Every structure is written in structure tokens, then in C-alpha cells.
């Protein structure tokens, strides 16, 4: 199946058998090679609009992670290493020896695991609203939160009822987030949350030597700013940028996405303003 995007660029939507599971992914475009890693519970369909700017600038590779969307649910319980090895197998499938990577939230955890596992393959890295693992500090226990238990202030610590009453766009984002968590997680998402609970890359972060952008939302309640500061402190070639927003700062702060795209393209290596 092919999907036209970005004028003449064509993105192919493919299913491939990798590491014992059927992986659903898209690949296409032109420019530097970029692997995109989704956040918790997210599928290609759900992040389609977010992917569009990346499609326009890169040869993009993105997939439904194991157990999500149209990728099959394996019988075994995966670890974060499994998600990272899936991504590396996908890069192998399209013939990429080296590439750039961007990971959002849970995808940022996968990106860290991937980069410490195969540092020679990652040319440039962007880690967005993510964490180095529970070994560094207490994590928000998303794996324990039932439907309706996730307070809006997790998304953004400013999101009190009074704030949301005065900011309808933020209220709509909260409603969309709540709708996605409107029932008990199915087996795939539940296993992803379990892998998140055991994520621990802190002692291995110094293996990452490529240029790295660590980006955070100032009011993020899921991946607080101190987590991003901790990641940046362990990397030899990292820059921390803080944006006006919470866990969805990429959508909240108009500076964020253009700066992330420019960094990944190698057009912006200067300090944040």
C-alpha cells in the first residue's frame, strides 16, 4: 500500500515479519534518514498529523510498536530492550546502517535503549519529554492508573479546573487524552506500560556520544523537567531545551517543533534562546 505525501514523495505502508512478530510501518520521503518512535499507546494513525512535518524533511521510518495498532501482540512480556531491538531490526529491514532518531515520551525511552545498545548506528538523537528510568527517581506510575485516574495536571501541572475553563484548547487536549484512556488497557498497551515501569538506562547513558537534543516541557507532570536535566547531565554532546508547555509541549509551544526539526536535520547546533 502506498500513501502520497509531500508533493512527489511517496510513503509506503508495509507489514514485515521481524523478530517473530508482524510489524506495521511506513517508510518514504527524502533527506536524512530518521527513525520516529511513538509515545505510550500511540499508533501511526493517531500521530499522522504530527508525522507530517517529519515526512517533509526526512526519509522517515515509523512503526506501530509491538502490541499496538496493526503490529501483532507477542505471547511473551517484552522488555524495553525488545522495543529497541524491534526498531533496529526495522532499520535493518530498510537497509539503514546509520540513521537519526527521535523519541517522544515512551518512544524517548526506547530511543535511549536503542542508542546505548547500538551507539555506532545513531548519528543524531532527539529525546522529547522522557526519562532515564526509575533508578534515577520516582516515576509517575502510569501502569497503575485506572481509567479516569490520570489527573490533567499530569499532562501539564498548570491544568487546574480554573485553568482549563479559561483555555478551551487545553481542555480539548485533556478530553482527547482521557478518551484514549477510557477503558482498561488491552494486552499490548498494558505490556508497554509494564516495560516502562522497568525502564533503566541511567548507568549506560554515557555510551551515547552523538549530538543529542534533550527537550522538555516546563510544566510536564508525567516526565518532569528534572528527568530531562538528568539525561543531559550524563551525555557528552547534549543540549537541554525547555519549552512552554507540559507533556504535549511539542504542540503547545510554537518554537518546539521547528527547532527539533532543524536540530535533527543538522541545521541548528547552537544553544537555545
pLDDT, tens digit, 9 for 90 and up, residues 81-95: 999 999 999 999 999
Class of domain 2-146+184-265: alpha beta
Instruction: Indicate if the pLDDT at residue 1 is higher than 60.
Output: no
Q: What pLDDT is attached to residue 110? A: 97
pLDDT (mean) for 243-257:
95
For residue 79, the model assigns a pLDDT of 92
Q: 180: pLDDT confidence band, cut at 50, 70 and 90?
A: low
Rounded to the nearest integer, the mean pLDDT of the chain is: 87
pLDDT of residue 23: 95
**How high is the pLDDT of residue 63?**
97
Q: pLDDT tens digits, residue range 19-77?
A: 999 999 999 999 999 999 999 888 999 999 999 999 999 999 999 999 999 999 888 88
- When pLDDT is cut at 50, 70 and 90, the band that residue 238 belongs to is very high
Asked whether the predicted pLDDT for residue 131 surpasses 90, the reply is yes
Angle subtended at Cα 67 by Cα 264 and Cα 204, rounded to the nearest 5 degrees: 50
pTM of structure: 0.89
Confidence band, pLDDT 50/70/90 cuts, at residue 174: confident
Which pLDDT does position 154 carry in this prediction? Answer: 87
Provide long-range contacts, Cβ within 8 A and 24+ apart, for 142-145: 142/40, 142/193, 142/196, 142/222, 143/190, 143/193, 143/194, 143/196, 143/197, 145/181
SS3 per-residue string spanning 159-203: CCHHHHHHCHHHHHHHHHHHHHCCCCCCHHHHHHHHHHHCCECHH
Torsion region of 19: left, alpha or beta (phi above 0 gives left; psi -120 to 50 gives alpha): left
The answer, yes or no, to whether residue 147 has pLDDT greater than 90, is no
Mean pLDDT of the 243-263 span: 96
Span 101-130, pLDDT tens digits:
999 999 999 999 999 999 999 999 999 999
Spell out the domain ranges in the chain. Answer: 2-146+184-265
Amino acid at each position: 500500500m502506498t500513501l502520497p505525501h509531500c508533493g512527489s514523495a511517496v510513503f509506503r505502508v508495509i507489514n514485515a515479519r521481524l523478530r517473530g512478530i508482524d510489524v506495521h510501518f511506513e517508510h518514504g520521503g527524502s533527506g536524512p534518514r530518521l527513525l520516529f518512535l511513538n509515545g505510550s499507546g500511540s499508533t501511526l494513525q493517531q500521530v499522522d498529523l504530527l508525522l507530517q512535518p517529519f515526512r517533509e524533511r526526512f526519509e522517515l521510518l515509523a512503526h506501530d510498536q509491538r502490541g499496538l495498532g496493526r503490529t501483532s501482540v507477542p505471547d511473551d512480556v517484552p522488555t524495553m530492550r525488545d522495543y529497541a531491538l524491534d526498531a533496529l531490526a526495522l532499520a535493518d529491514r530498510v537497509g539503514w546502517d546509520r540513521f537519526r532518531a527521535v523519541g517522544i515520551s515512551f518512544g524517548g525511552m526506547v530511543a535511549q535503549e536503542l542508542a546505548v545498545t547500538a551507539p555506532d548506528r545513531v548519528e543524531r538523537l532527539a529525546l522529547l519529554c522522557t526519562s532515564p528510568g526509575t533508578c534515577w527517581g520516582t516515576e509517575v506510575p502510569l501502569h497503575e492508573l485506572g481509567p479516569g485516574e490520570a489527573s490533567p495536571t499530569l499532562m501539564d501541572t498548570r491544568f487546574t479546573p480554573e485553568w482549563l475553563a479559561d483555555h478551551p484548547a487545553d481542555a480539548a487536549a485533556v478530553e482527547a487524552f482521557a478518551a484514549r484512556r477510557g477503558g482498561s488497557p488491552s494486552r499490548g498497551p498494558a505490556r508497554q506500560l509494564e516495560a516502562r515501569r522497568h525502564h533503566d538506562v541511567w548507568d549506560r547513558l554515557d555510551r551515547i556520544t552523538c549530538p543529542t537534543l534533550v527537550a522538555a516541557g516546563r510544566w510536564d507532570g508525567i516526565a518532569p523537567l528534572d528527568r530531562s536535566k538528568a539525561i543531559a547531565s550524563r551525555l557528552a554532546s547534549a543540549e537541554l531545551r525547555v519549552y512552554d508547555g507540559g507533556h504535549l509541549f511539542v504542540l503547545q509551544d510554537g518554537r518546539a517543533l521547528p527547532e527539533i526539526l532543524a536540530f535533527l536535520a543538522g541545521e541548528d547546533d547552537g544553544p537555545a534562546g
